[in-house]
C-alpha cells in the first residue's frame, strides 16, 4: 500500500475549524445569525472565496443554514447532531429512550463518583429552574430546563466525550421529536425521581444514581406508550 506524506491543512480547513469552534463553544449560539461575509473577510484576513467555501462546508455538515435574503444562521452546535438527527428519524422512540437511558445512567454513576461541591451547586440550581418552569406550565421552558438539569449531571461526570455525545443526541432528539402537552406531564413525573437522583449523587451512591435514572426512564416509557395508544402526542416526526 502506497502511503502519502501528511500535508498541512488548507486555508479553508483552518477557517472551517475556527468557525466550528465558535459554534461549539457557544460564541455563536444555535439560532443566531453569523457575521456577514464582508465582516468575516475583514476579521480573518482571507479572501471572499475562502470564507464562502468554509461557510458552505459547515452548511453541508448541518451546522449552518442559509435563509434567502436574511443571512446564515447556526442551526446545530455540533456536526454530530445532524447525523444523529437523521439516524433518529429512522428509529423507534423506544430505541431513542434506550440509548439516552444508557448515556444518562453512566453519566449519573460517574457524577456520583466524581462530583465536586461546585457541581452539586449547579445541579441544584438547574433543578430549581426546572421546577419553576413546570410551575409556570411553560412547556418550552420546561423542556429546556429539563435538558439543562440533566446536562449538569452529565457534566459532573467530567468526561468531555460523554458530555459532547449527550449534548448532540439531546439536540437531535429535539429536532426530530414533536412535543405536546405530554412533555409537561413527563417533567412533572420526573420531579420525584430527580430529587432521589440528586441525593444519590450527593451521597456518592453510584448504584443509587444509576437506579434513579433507570426508574424515571422506565416511567417515561410507560407514559409515552399510553400517549401513543391514546393520541400520539409525543413522537418522531
Cβ neighbours of residue 39 under 8 Å, at least 6 residues apart? none
Q: Write the DSSP string, 144-196.
A: HHHHHHHHHHHHTT--HHHHHHHHHHHHHHHHHEE--HHHHHHHHHHHHHHHH
Q: Looking at residue 229, what is its pLDDT? A: 63
Is 43 a member of any domain? yes
Over residues 44-91, the pLDDT tens digits come to: 999 999 999 999 999 988 889 998 888 999 988 777 777 777 777 777
**CA-closest candidate to residue 20, choices 60, 49, 70:** 60
Is 69 a member of any domain? yes
**Which domain-ending residue is among 31, 56, 74?**
74
Mean pLDDT of 127-132: 92
30 has a pLDDT exceeding 50? yes
* 90 lies in the same domain as 145: yes
Is 4 a member of any domain? no
Mean pLDDT of 83-111: 82
Confidence of residue 6 (pLDDT cuts 50, 70, 90): very low
* 57 lies in the same domain as 172: no
**Which domain-ending residue is among 56, 74, 92?**
74
Does the pTM surpass 0.75? The reply is no
Q: Percent of the chain scored above 90 by pLDDT? A: 40
Structural domain total, the chain: 2
Is 94 a member of any domain? yes
Confidence of residue 7 (pLDDT cuts 50, 70, 90): low
Is 155 a member of any domain? yes
Domain that holds residue 129: 80-236
CATH of the domain at 16: 1.10.10.10
* 68 lies in the same domain as 174: no
**Which domain-ending residue is among 52, 74, 96?**
74
8 has a pLDDT exceeding 80? no
Is 3 a member of any domain? no
C-alpha cell at 36: 456577514
Distance CA 15, CA 202 (A): 43
- Which residue do the cell numbers 461526570 mark? 157
Amino acid at each position: 500500500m502506497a502511503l502519502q506524506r501528511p500535508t498541512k491543512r488548507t486555508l479553508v480547513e483552518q477557517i472551517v475549524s475556527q468557525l466550528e469552534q465558535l459554534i461549539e463553544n457557544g460564541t455563536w449560539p444555535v439560532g443566531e445569525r453569523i457575521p456577514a461575509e464582508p465582516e468575516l473577510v475583514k476579521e480573518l484576513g482571507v479572501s471572499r472565496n475562502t470564507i464562502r467555501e468554509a461557510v458552505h462546508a459547515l452548511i453541508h455538515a448541518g451546522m449552518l443554514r442559509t435563509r434567502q435574503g436574511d443571512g446564515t444562521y447556526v442551526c446545530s452546535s455540533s456536526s454530530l447532531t445532524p447525523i444523529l438527527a437523521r439516524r433518529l428519524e429512522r428509529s423507534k422512540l423506544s430505541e431513542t429512550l434506550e440509548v439516552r437511558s444508557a448515556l444518562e445512567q453512566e453519566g449519573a454513576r460517574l457524577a456520583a463518583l466524581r462530583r465536586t461541591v461546585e457541581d452539586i451547586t449547579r445541579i441544584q440550581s438547574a433543578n430549581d429552574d426546572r421546577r419553576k418552569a413546570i410551575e409556570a406550565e411553560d412547556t418550552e421552558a420546561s423542556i429546556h430546563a429539563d435538558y439543562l438539569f440533566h446536562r449538569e449531571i452529565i457534566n459532573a461526570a467530567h468526561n468531555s466525550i460523554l458530555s459532547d455525545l449527550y449534548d448532540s443526541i439531546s439536540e437531535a432528539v429535539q429536532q426530530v421529536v414533536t412535543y405536546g402537552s405530554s412533555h409537561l406531564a413527563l417533567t412533572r413525573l420526573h420531579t420525584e425521581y430527580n430529587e432521589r437522583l440528586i441525593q444519590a449523587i450527593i451521597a456518592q451512591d453510584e448504584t443509587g444514581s444509576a437506579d434513579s435514572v433507570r426508574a424515571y426512564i422506565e416511567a417515561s416509557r410507560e407514559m409515552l406508550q399510553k400517549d401513543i395508544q391514546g393520541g400520539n402526542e409525543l413522537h418522531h416526526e
